[in-house]
Structure 1
Amino acid sequence: MEGGEESGGEPRGHSQDSRMGTPWSQESSPDEGQPADWNRPWAPARRVLLAVLIISLLLGSSVLLVFIFRNCGPRPCDTPVCLDLLARYTASGNSGVDACTDFFSLACGKANGTSNSFRDLAEENKSRLRRILEAPGSWHPGSGEEKAFQFYSSCMDTQAIEDAGTGPLRQVIEELGGWHISGNWTSIDFNQTLALLMSRYGHFPFFRAYLQPHPAPPHTPVIQIDQPEFDAPLKQEQEQKIYAQIVREYLTYLNQLGTLLGGDPGKVQEHASLSISITSRLFQFLRPLEQRQAQGKLFHTVTIDQLQEMAPAIDWLSCLQATFTPMLLSPSQPLVVHDLEYVKNMSQLVEGLLVKHRNFLQSHMILGLVGTLSPALDSKFQEARRSLNQKLRELTERPPLPAHPRWMECVEETGTYFEPTLAALFVREAFGPSTQSAAMELFTAIKDALIARLKRLPWMNEETRKEAQDRVTHLQVKIGAPEWALKPELAKQGYSDIQLGPSFLQSVLSCVRSLRARIVQSFLEPFPHHRWQVSPWGVNAYYSMPDHVVVFPAGLLQPPFFHPGYPRAVNFGAAGSIMAHKLLHIFYQLLLPGGCLNCDTRALQEASLCLERHYAAFPLPGRTSFNGSTTFLKNAADVGGLSIAFQAYSRSLIRHRGETTLPNQDLSSHQLFFRSYAQVMCREPSPQDSQDIHSPPSLRIHGPLSQIPAFARYFHCPRGTLLNPSSRCQLW
């Protein structure tokens, strides 16, 4: 019953039992039913224990968050390529400068002057070619590799060139009939001599003739006649004092050439003076490109027969046929003449000289040829040429040309004549499949970001936007090297027509003829691919409007602009901004006045004027200046290119994990993106030509950075500082 009572109804004495509690109720709820004198002493200890527990949980969470951050955030890249990049950035900039007021100096202002990224990269590529050409190796006899290595070796053998002296050059002059200065002159027909100069020696004393695609659609190959290139700028409208100084320096140079060849000093002086007179008169016939453009006469299409009537002093058919063999020319062959008025005036001058001063005309052509061939001659001729160039640059207030070591000149010469061979060797060493794939992936990300950006441009209507997107979608891209450079069997040409030796000059002349023949042959053969305008080791990307193709050579996609092992911030900021800039060249026409009839012209004009005013407000160092109207298109491409590259980079962070950054630098990944962009633009400030299409280097950095709100955000720039202006332009 007892058990029944405890389990069943409510027994007597229930209220007392409840107050005292049961044994199991005391274990399960110790705070309830405890005597007051038992619970009070332990209360502080319990509170301390509870606080310790909470603090432990908080500390543990913090450690966990740090662990997660360190494993999910950017990790330092400590590979050799990243450490080398870190050393470059450290050496090329000035970290003590305020990023918000002078980012140009921060990125480019090294201790001993301003760094020049493109020039440095070009020299590094040539150094790589030098190592290739000087590495020991065995090549198949008569192969392109063997001849390229032999040519480079003979170019570097300066002692042999010095020992040969003027002998090889005198032989060339004798083949042309000699000249009156030396007393041994055989009067050869003028046009026969001119044809020899053009075809065998690559010298064009009165005009230039070359084979290029037609300037207008369908851009078929055509022989083009253009203005000549002169050694000295003999413009009579120059300040009289400067003009007299230029004439004096040029006369000194021509006298040196004649004297080095053993000419009688009196005759040399006489012939040199008349040669300068001929050059000066030809110079007066030139019309600036802007003038011809304003008159709508950039070029004329005429037949050889028609040109013969307009400029009869030149036997056009025989001279051009000799130059462009194996083409078969006829009187009805169409030509493109870039300045018809110059050609007519040139012909009249030559006709008068043939009547009165035939021997002086011969001397003028010979003196010009000697100048052209001077790189292949001994040190006395080269020094005379170098001295002339430096003095002319001083007189025309241009910066002096840097002195290049002999190996660099020889690399450039070898690359000119043996490009297919050197292209294959360079690509094999410097641009493997993994680099090619990474570069193409980067370009695809940039192109996708541009297409997305086009959807949001307020000044484009739907029709224009659709056309713009189609233009980008159907664009061809060439990355690395031409197809023939990626196929070793095509690059290993035998160059059977090249005969090297016995002198370096004769080797050069044989290469000149071989190169011209290969160029002509390439235009005669069906060629469905775009013809590259740069060598694979070059650093200049470009957009070709006729072929609608954008080209990024392997030489450009090298450190410090690009490497598969770099942090993505570097590749997007440097190479990516270059790619985006070149893509925007597609739309240059739209930004010109009247170039986009279906656009919101008011919005477009306001954005364009805003950008011009924005650039005009920037301070410039020293004597640096620029023409905002001339540089507008490039400024627009700089601003838009950086913005598109940053958008592409931001999207990549969402799609891909594992971003890295450079070690031992207080730069976030986003800051590193902007730092890498600025590195691309580094070069020395210099007085700008009013016709220069690029802004000074500081503006090419500050202009775009100040238009990206993210730059000010990530570098914590106060409102109103130079790179965080109160308003921005909305062009791209």
Structure 2
Amino acid sequence: MGTAWTQQRSREEWSHRKTMMGWGLLSVLLLGLTVVFSVLLFYTFYSCGPRPCERPVCLALMANYLMTGNASALPCIDFFSFVCGNLTSGWANESRNVLEILKEENEHRLQRMLEASVSWPPDSAEEKTVRFYKACMDTDAIEVSGAEPLLQVIEELGGWRISGNWTPPDFNHTLKLLMSQYGSFPFFKAYLGPQPSPPHTPVIQIEEPEFQMPFRPDQKNYTQILRAYVSYLEQLGTLLGGDQKVVLEHAYLSITITSNLLMVANPLVQEKTEDKLIQETTIAQLQEMAPSIDWLSCLQAVFSVMTLSPSQPIIVHDLDYIKGMSQVIEQKANYRDYLQSHMILGLVSTLIPALDSHFQNAQRNLSQKLQELAGWSPISLSIPRWKKCIKETETFFKPTLGAMFVQETFSRDSQDVATQLFSEIQNAMSRHLKRLHWMDEGSQREVQIKLSQLKVEMGAPEEILKPDPTKQDYQDINFGSSYLQTVLSCSRSLHERTMRGFLGPPYRHRWKVFPWDVKAYYSMPDNVAVFPAGLLQPPFFHPSYPSSVNFGAAGSVMARELMHIFNQYLVPEGCPACDIPTLNGELLCLQKHYESISLPTGNIFNSSHTLLENAADIGALVIAMQAYKKWLQKHKGETILPSLGLSPYQLFYQSYAKVMCGSPASKDAQDLHSPPIVRIHGPLSNIPTFARHFHCPRGTPMNPSNRCQLWLSA
């Protein structure tokens, strides 16, 4: 047996070994847990990070980007070519852009809708819309009808001496019929329009007509133009059965009347402004100043939904023309047959789109001859029939056609996502206001109020998105035995609906575009931002796209329209309380920044002329990126497009540039936007995060040494 010390030592050693074994097991356990945690952490990051979007719409977008972009271009040197190179390579001598391509796609969508084999309820708005389009497309029936439908119209007007069988009608009676039943205004145009100043109540307005003869006696090449126009009128008269000698006589007199009217019309280059030309008066006063027209009778016929009196207030645009017009008619008062022929020839020209190919060829030949005499480059006038018929259908059935387009292409989900996207952009701009170091607090508050009171209309006007089930449109439209009779019935119906619209609810913003258009806009007087469904389509927007695409493309478009709120503060003396030296310095910096951008040979632009739009482009990019960053902080599950190798931020900038893709060819000098390559390189090279995400070395074109701070960099 050992001693007590030995036994004690053995117990201590055993205890020590047990302790060491425990620490070893603990270390192994900790190591295992670390490995497991690392695997879980890796899996978590992988699963929460950007995942490829495999949906068909994303794969289609990926294919679009691969097809239109030029992967061999270096994004830090030429991002325009990197994004748009293959798309614009075939546009060297054309002026095109991606929005025009989208517009053409929307036209084809309309065509497919109108030609689809869908059984609409009889006499429904949709059925009449489709029926009208098909009547327009039935060229065989139009050719068979020939001039007969138009001869019936002339007979209803009392006939004319060109036909050899007529009864001299009262001048004002014919004029009244032309304006009220046929929408033709040979001497003046009368319409309902909002007053220029608030509360914008509707008022009858009188102005010059749209002259059928677009030239003046003092114009260059007048003699050659005169011959071309005489030949045109001669063709119209003979197509309607007139004797050539009589037709020529009346054609020359008609041209003389138009020439006299043009001479009393104020030329567009005059020094007077439109505001000075507008005068408020009454029907009775106008009757004294221009007595050749029976104003009360004629206007009552045109505005039949109103009860007029001599004291009715009206607005006259250019009273001098109206007085001169009355004198021209007075001089021809004893030649009623010539006045009658003049008015009917004008009507025939307006109705040619609804007539057969003989009349249309005559008008086409005149247009080509006038282009030649004006020295313009030949313009192809060959437009597919389906496009013409869509235009005609748009004119008369806009609400229903818009509703059909929205139902087909802009789902409720699309509208909700687009509205939320706009809300993110609006909130980002509101937050960003405080960072504008040149803008005083008072001006910032003004902008904040505008933003808070701003109304956005997404997809289509409210009356299309939420139609009134009790409203029965088109019930007064009758489909006649000829296409011309159908067009005339539609024209009268449209006139009545337009007047009812003006005389209905109080003034509200009326869309300047169709729902299938691709142009967004901001109305400063009404503080309304409009984004039509036609714009919110692939490849610029889809509810299933990665958010980086929607924010970069559609989001930047939304931000750009809101940036126009700042226009009034950026012009000279527009913001007297602002830090003017700083503001002017930033605007000058912006101008120089754009002037430094390289352009293709032969392309020039005026950076001072496009300054406000350039400022809007850069500001839109800043706001859209701020909104996207905020969205990423609040949401998980961002996706990317497979096979592109682009991160979400890179995809954002690619999508931003894609909206700007356009022909590098010279652009219209009057365009307030810079050329496409400048609209891409200008904003992106001014944003540090672009250079960071594309790893652009310092000093490359897309990562310059100096940047402008008008909106601060994103």
Q: Same fold (TM over 0.5)?
A: yes
Match of 1:586 among 549, 557, 565: 565
Task: State the distance in 2 between where 1:218 and 1:2 align.
Answer: 115
Task: State the distance in 2 between where 1:69 and 1:297 align.
Answer: 68
Task: State the distance in 2 between where 1:352 and 1:689 align.
Answer: 44
Q: Displacement of 1:507 after TM fit?
A: 0.3
Q: Displacement of 1:673 after TM fit?
A: 2.0
Say whether the 8 Å CA contact 1:232–1:246 is kept in structure 2. no
Say whether the 8 Å CA contact 2:517–2:535 is kept in structure 1. yes
Count matched residues.
697
Partner of 2:455: 476
Residue 432 of structure 1 pairs with residue 411 of structure 2: yes
Q: Displacement of 1:731 after TM fit?
A: 3.2
Q: Displacement of 1:420 after TM fit?
A: 2.8
Moved more, 207-216 or 620-629: 620-629
Judged with a 3 Å threshold, the aligned counterparts in structure 2 of structure 1 residues 389 and 661 are, in CA distance, closer, same or farther, namely farther
- SS of residue matched to 1:490: coil
Partner of 1:164: 145
Task: State the distance in 1 between where 2:83 and 2:359 align.
Answer: 41
Say whether the 8 Å CA contact 1:421–1:491 is kept in structure 2. no
Q: Displacement of 1:247 after TM fit?
A: 4.5
Q: Displacement of 1:297 after TM fit?
A: 2.1
Judged with a 3 Å threshold, the aligned counterparts in structure 2 of structure 1 residues 24 and 684 are, in CA distance, closer, same or farther, namely closer
Q: Displacement of 1:158 after TM fit?
A: 1.0
Q: Displacement of 1:131 after TM fit?
A: 2.7
Superposition TM-score, scaled by structure 2 size: 0.87
- SS of residue matched to 1:428: helix
Residue 234 of structure 1 pairs with residue 215 of structure 2: yes
Residue 696 of structure 1 pairs with residue 675 of structure 2: yes
Task: State the distance in 2 between where 1:545 and 1:130 align.
Answer: 34
Residue 5 of structure 1 pairs with residue 5 of structure 2: yes
Partner of 2:281: 302
- SS of residue matched to 1:455: helix
Output the amino acid matched with 1:703. G
How do 1:210-225 and structure 2 match up within 5 A? Answer: 210-225=191-206
Task: State the distance in 2 between where 1:408 and 1:731 align.
Answer: 44
Partner of 1:288: 268
Q: Displacement of 1:565 after TM fit?
A: 0.6
Judged with a 3 Å threshold, the aligned counterparts in structure 2 of structure 1 residues 603 and 164 are, in CA distance, closer, same or farther, namely same
Task: State the distance in 2 between where 1:487 and 1:120 align.
Answer: 29
Moved more, 651-660 or 280-289: 280-289
Q: Deviations over 1:380-401 (max 9, x none)?
A: 2223333444554563536736
Residue 334 of structure 1 pairs with residue 313 of structure 2: yes
Judged with a 3 Å threshold, the aligned counterparts in structure 2 of structure 1 residues 464 and 520 are, in CA distance, closer, same or farther, namely same
Partner of 2:358: 380
Task: State the distance in 1 between where 2:665 and 2:282 align.
Answer: 44
How do 1:607-618 and structure 2 match up within 5 A? Answer: 607-618=586-597
Task: State the distance in 1 between where 2:688 and 2:166 align.
Answer: 73
- Structure 2 gap segments, 5+ residues each: 22-30
Judged with a 3 Å threshold, the aligned counterparts in structure 2 of structure 1 residues 195 and 701 are, in CA distance, closer, same or farther, namely farther
Partner of 2:345: 367
- Structure 1 gap segments, 5+ residues each: 9-13, 31-53
Identity %: 56
Say whether the 8 Å CA contact 1:217–1:546 is kept in structure 2. no
Residue 656 of structure 1 pairs with residue 635 of structure 2: yes
Task: State the distance in 1 between where 2:162 and 2:497 align.
Answer: 36
Moved more, 74-83 or 224-233: 224-233
Say whether the 8 Å CA contact 2:189–2:206 is kept in structure 1. yes
Q: Deviations over 1:566-610 (max 9, x none)?
A: 111221122112211222233332233322233233333333344
Superposed CA RMSD: 3.6
- SS of residue matched to 1:210: strand
Task: State the distance in 1 between where 2:481 and 2:226 align.
Answer: 37
- SS of residue matched to 2:205: strand
Superposition TM-score, scaled by structure 1 size: 0.85
Judged with a 3 Å threshold, the aligned counterparts in structure 2 of structure 1 residues 577 and 510 are, in CA distance, closer, same or farther, namely same
Q: Displacement of 1:448 after TM fit?
A: 0.6
How do 1:35-74 and structure 2 match up within 5 A? Answer: 70-74=46-50
Task: State the distance in 2 between where 1:175 and 1:151 align.
Answer: 24
Partner of 1:418: 397
How do 1:76-475 and structure 2 match up within 5 A? Answer: 76-109=52-85, 110=87, 111-113=89-91, 116-231=97-212, 233-234=214-215, 240-241=220-221, 246-280=225-259, 282-283=261-262, 285-288=265-268, 291-293=271-273, 297=276, 299-354=278-333, 358-393=336-371, 395=374, 397=376, 400=379, 403-475=382-454
Q: Deviations over 1:149-206 (max 9, x none)?
A: 2212211111101100111111112222333433344433333222222221122233
Output the amino acid matched with 2:154. I
Q: Deviations over 1:610-655 (max 9, x none)?
A: 4344445545557655555554333332232222222212222222
Moved more, 128-137 or 485-494: 485-494
Task: State the distance in 2 between where 1:689 and 1:235 align.
Answer: 26
- SS of residue matched to 2:301: helix
Task: State the distance in 2 between where 1:129 and 1:665 align.
Answer: 32
Residue 727 of structure 1 pairs with residue 703 of structure 2: no
Q: Deviations over 1:215-273 (max 9, x none)?
A: 222212222333433456426676x35x5555454444333323322333344344444
Output the amino acid matched with 1:314. I
Task: State the distance in 1 between where 2:691 and 2:474 align.
Answer: 57
Task: State the distance in 2 between where 1:451 and 1:78 align.
Answer: 35
Task: State the distance in 2 between where 1:250 and 1:726 align.
Answer: 61
Judged with a 3 Å threshold, the aligned counterparts in structure 2 of structure 1 residues 156 and 718 are, in CA distance, closer, same or farther, namely same
- SS of residue matched to 1:555: coil
Q: Deviations over 1:91-150 (max 9, x none)?
A: 444444443454444444425337532223233333333333223344443322222222
Partner of 1:486: 465
Output the amino acid matched with 1:112. G
Partner of 1:509: 488
Say whether the 8 Å CA contact 2:66–2:644 is kept in structure 1. no
Output the amino acid matched with 1:288. L
- SS of residue matched to 1:71: helix
How do 1:567-582 and structure 2 match up within 5 A? Answer: 567-582=546-561
Max Rg structure: 1
